[in-house]
Structure 1
Amino acid sequence: MIPNSLVLVGFISGLLGSIFGIGGGIIIVSILISVYAIEPRFAVGSSIFVIVISSAIGVIYNLTKKRIDLPIAYKILISTIPGSLVGSFIIGFIPAKTFNYIVSFLLISFSIFVYKRFNPGPQKLNIKFGLLSVILFFVGIMSSTTGIGGGIIYTPLLLNVLSLPLITSISTSQFILAVTTTTALSTHIFNENIQPEITLPIAIGAMFGSFLGVKILHKIPKQFINWGLIIILIGFAGYLLISAN
């Protein structure tokens, strides 16, 4: 393991996570499993820890800029927090190869969803609150089990289902990520899913990347954000599928 390279992994994940509102977990988990051959539960534990750190930095900055829709965030958290707790308990029972396939399938599915809803423009979806709560519960399970944080769902959901502006959607998604991952983190620590020699270098890089990301977010064209998110999702899905075979 080369700590310097892990710092770079953290920086990239923090930067892209802040720009796209996805937490950076898909980058961390994908690289740790496919490049460093880290066991999934340790990759997920490290990802959850780093998301807590990087999201917190983004949340503090976005709160000062009043970019976060707190009432909507609180409603979403009611459903996602229980799911994240359930997910953090079952991660140790999923085989590595199966884990890769699950995450790849989710990433490809979300890239299709993002493409259809972000291009040419956001369209509001009509989903009843009861169904939305059930969906969010399973999003919480998925985010804690796979370590990708759930931001790849929260951002499109806030934009298309709840019709929030793009920057507000990204910032609110990051706030939700910070809370749900903090909730799941205690369970991952209890289950010894976090290895300091892996997690700390990534966390250091993520702090700097996240700070830079929130500073430049408002300067980036919306279409770049949309297409960038799609490319990230498909790219890491393909990488995980290749490494699983």
Structure 2
Amino acid sequence: MKKNGTSKGWGAMPVLLAALLLALPAAAFGAEAVPADATAWWIWPLLLLVVTFVMGIVAVLGGVGGGVLYVPIIGGFFPFHIDFVRGAGLLVALSGALAAGPGLLKANLASLRLAIPVALVASSCAIVGAMFGLALPAHIVKLLLGVTILGIVVIMFTAKKSDCPDVPKADALSSALGIYGIYQGPDKTFDWKIHRTIPGLLTFIIIGVMAGMFGLGAGWANVPVLNLMMGAPLKISVATSKFLLSITDTSAAWVYLNNGAVIPMLVAPSLIGIMLGSFVGVRILKVAKPSFIRWMVIGILAFAGSKSLYDGIKAMNAPAKPAVQHTQEASHGK
């Protein structure tokens, strides 16, 4: 009886949080002296809740992280400063990773031996990327974000996957670090190992910088490197990548938080919408056609990336604004 009551209480939490968010006065978010002709402050959180709900569904169906959809779409079509969007994007990706990480480790899918050296490199570089991104003018960030998103589209369009890559022999570094394991699949059980460890770790330097700079999370890049370059089984790569986000995104998120680039008006409805959408997406996944969803995600990312690239080019001649502005200005698109 107690268990049912607890589950009902947790089920009501998103609704209560949304009601609390919309009930708070605008001053709670620093939106003072709002012009009379400005859009009501609560319209944007409400619209954000709806959009991220749909985004959560699409992310699950498309097999991509919420951050890679969140930053280009919200940054391109909502009047929030790009720094605040990137900070919220990291927290969106982080929330999903924290929810999934313990279960993946318990199920022996995420490899801690593989994750620790990769996380050390990626999280350190994510901090550097976050600091570098906050120092850049907003239009430069949007320009680079557009190029990056379109690059992700190309990767998704051409990427191949291998369930069980052929690794004839583990290299010296992976052997010294003890990076190996036993994969227990539904059909067979086998020992796995990795190779090309040094090129893989060097690649994660770039991935970490990009994850911190753009707030995208890095699942779109982690899996191909772990699977195709380093030779980990696909399920091990996917699970380890998800666990990695809980370390990499935490490091970068602290930089944004410390610089004041995280605001409740943006983060709260985003997290609620993504979580609720993910729950619905898991149910729809049973009947959805994967090929159609994949092409839909590619199309959305191509459109959002093009919009970000266009905005960056358009603003090239505009006067540069400080990287992190006052919350009032960012919240009203100034």
Report how far residue 7 of structure 1 moved: 1.4
Displacement of 1:48: 1.2
Question: 5 Å matches for 1:201-212?
Answer: 201-212=269-280
SS across alignment from 2:120: helix
Alignment of 1:39-188 (within 5 A): 39-63=81-105, 65-118=107-160, 122=162, 128-188=196-256
Residues 59-114 of structure 1, C-alpha deviation per residue, up to 9 Å, x if partnerless?
34544554423332223212101011112222222222221221121122232233
Q: Is 2:56 the partner of 1:14?
A: yes
> Which of residues 212, 234, 237 is equivalent to 2:305?
237
- Give the drift of 1:20: 4.9
TM-score by length of 2: 0.63
Q: Greater Rg, structure 1 or structure 2?
A: 2
TM-superposition CA deviations, 1:151-203 (whole Å, max 9, x none)? 21112223322344544433332211122111222221111110111111101
What percentage of residue pairs aligned between the two structures are identical?
Answer: 24
CA contact (8 A) 1:110 1:152 kept: yes
Cα pair distance change 1:168/1:130, threshold 3 Å: closer
1:208-227 counterparts in 2 under 5 A? 208-213=276-281, 223=291, 227=295
> Quick check: 198-207 or 220-229, which moved more?
220-229
- Return 57-66 or 134-143, whichever deviates more: 57-66
When structure 1 is superposed on structure 2, of 33-42 and 215-224 the one drifting more is: 215-224
Deviation of 1:27 (Å): 2.1
Unaligned runs of 5+ in 1: none
**Greater fraction of residues in helix:** 1
SS in 1 for 2:260: coil
Note closer, same or farther for the CA distance 1:175–1:42 as it changes in structure 2 (3 Å cut): same
User: What's the TM-score once normalised by structure 1's chain length?
Assistant: 0.83
1:237 partner SS: helix
CA contact (8 A) 2:52 2:70 kept: yes
In structure 2, list runs of 5 or more residues that go unmatched.
1-42, 168-194, 315-334
Distance in 2 between residues matched to 1:6 and 1:137, nearest whole Å:
32
> Structure 1 residues 116 and 33 mapped into 2: Cα distance closer, same or farther (>3 Å)?
closer
Q: Of the two structures, which has the highest relative contact order with CA contacts closer than 8 Å and spacing of 6 or more?
A: 1
Cα distance in 1 for residues equivalent to 2:278 and 2:119: 22
Report the equivalent of 1:200.
268
SS of residue matched to 1:2:
helix
Q: Distance in 1 between matches of 2:76 and 2:114?
A: 36
Paired residues of 1:13 and 1:23 also in contact (CA < 8 A): no
Partners of 2:197 and 2:230 within 8 A in 1: no
Q: Which amino acid counterpart does residue 257 of structure 2 have in structure 1?
A: I
